[in-house]
Amino acid sequence: MSTLDIKITIKLIGPFVNQLGFSEKTMSFPDGVTVETVLSSLPLDPKRPKIVTRNGQAVASGERLSHGDRLAISPLYSGG
């Protein structure tokens, strides 16, 4: 781990918790990491529609993350 690494908290929602085996975890990533890179580092089905939010706001896959960001990854719920 480089000292320049940033910490991102990943919050999984719904069945992703069971699929990946954790609910919330803070992980280190290289500075400048994008949402897409974080997502591809996780064993998630890339074809499954998801909604990803950064600090509670929807985020595009190319966006760069900052130290301390919270990334919530959820299946695309459509409402009860």
List 43, 46, 56, 62, residue binding other proteins (CB under 8 A)? 56
**Residue nearer to other proteins on the CB measure, 33 or 59:** 59
The DSSP bridge pattern shows strands 50-54 and 70-75 to be antiparallel
Binding residue count for other proteins, defined by CB under 8 A:
25
Question: Mind giving me the DSSP string for 40-75?
Answer: HTS---TTS-EEEEETTEE--TTPBP-TT-EEEEEE
Residues that bind other proteins (CB under 8 A): 11, 13-15, 17-19, 23, 48-49, 51, 53, 55-58, 70, 72, 74-80
